[in-house]
Amino acid sequence: MEIRVMENIFDENDRTADELRAKFREKNVFVINLLGSPGSGKTSLLEKTLGALSKKFSVAVIEGDLFTARDAERIDRLGVPVVQINTAGGCHLDAPMIKRALDSIDLDALDVLIIENVGNLVCPASFDLGETIRAVVLSITEGDDKPLKYPIIFKDAAIVLLNKIDLLEHTNFDLNSARSDLQSINPTVEIIETSCTKDSGLENWNGWLENKILSGSEKV
C-alpha cells in the first residue's frame, strides 16, 4: 500500500514538473535547482552569484525552507525578487509548490530562476521541479564520503561546488577521492572549488553558469 502511495506522489510530481519545464522553455527561462545539506553554504553562494548574475540577466529566486523566511530576507536585501515557500516541516520542494509560487513571478520578464531547495541530500533528489539544471553544493566540512553515501543527488547534477574550500587544511577531506567518486557516479559532472568567505572560485562558477544560461536559452 505504502509503495503504491509513493508511486502516485512521484507520478503527480513528474506530470507537474513536465508542465513546468514546457512553460519555462516557452518563456525562455533558465531554471537552476540548487541543492545541498543544511549549512553547506547555498544561500551565501547564492548571494555571491546574484551580485554578478543580476548585472547581466533578469533573475528571481524561490527560497524553500522548513519554517523561517531568513534566507528570503537575505535575498530581498539584494533587491532580487524572491518568493518564500515554507514547507512547514516538509523536507523537500515539489513541483506543485513551484507551480503555486509562479503565481507571484512574471516569467515573461525573467531570464533566470534560481530555486534554493530545502537543505537535504536525500529526498529533494527524487522531486523533479522542471529545472534546466541541478547544482549541488557540497561543503568540505561535510566530509568526502558524501558522494558515495548520497549518490542519487549527485547523479543528475550538472555541477558540484566543493564549497568552503578555504577550510580544507582543517579537515581530512580528500579532494582526489571526492572528485573521483563524483566522476564515477556522474562522468559528465563539472566540479568547481569555491569559498564564499575568501571569494575564491566564484568567477569560475559564475562564468560556467553564464555560459550555460546563454547556450541553454538559445531558442531552438
Least separation in angstroms between residue 77's CB and Mg ion is 14
Least separation in angstroms between residue 66's CB and Mg ion is 11
Q: Is 43 in the site for Mg ion (CB under 5 A)?
A: yes
Alpha-carbon torsion (187, 26, 206, 154), positive or negative: negative
Residue 154 vs 173, nearer CB to Zn ion? 154
Q: Is 64 in the site for Zn ion (CB under 5 A)?
A: no
Least separation in angstroms between residue 64's CB and Mg ion is 9
The mark string for 76-115 relative to Zn ion (x by CB under 5 A, - otherwise) is ---------------xx-----------------------
- Give residue for cell 530555486: 115
Contacts of 154 (CB under 8 A, 6+ apart): 136, 147, 160, 182, 185, 186, 189
Q: Is 40 in the site for Mg ion (CB under 5 A)?
A: no
Using DSSP's 3-state secondary structure scheme, residue 145 falls into: coil
Residue 92 vs 164, nearer CB to Zn ion? 92
- Crossing angle of helices 42-56 and 202-216, in 10° steps, is 60
Q: Is 123 in the site for Zn ion (CB under 5 A)?
A: yes
**Contact window for Mg ion (CB under 5 A) among 15-23, 42-50, 193-201, 203-211:** 42-50
Residue 16 vs 64, nearer CB to Mg ion? 64
Using DSSP's 3-state secondary structure scheme, residue 19 falls into: helix
Residue 43 interacts with, from Mg ion, Zn ion, none (CB under 5-8 Å by kind) = Mg ion
Residue 63 vs 181, nearer CB to Zn ion? 63
Which of 16, 32, 42, 48 is in the footprint of Mg ion by CB under 5 A? 42
By beta carbon distance, the residue nearest Mg ion is: 43
Closest alpha carbon to 146 in 113, 112, 170, 182: 182
Report in angstroms the alpha-carbon separations of 88 from 5, 50, 129, 219.
21, 27, 19, 38
Using DSSP's 3-state secondary structure scheme, residue 90 falls into: coil
Residue 16 vs 33, nearer CB to Mg ion? 33
What strands, in cross-sheet order, belong to the sheet with 30-36? 82-86, 59-65, 112-116, 30-36, 133-139, 159-163, 190-193
H or E segment to which residue 110 belongs: none
Which residues would be at the binding site for Zn ion (CB under 5 A)? 91-92, 123
Which residues would be at the binding site for Mg ion (CB under 5 A)? 42-43, 71
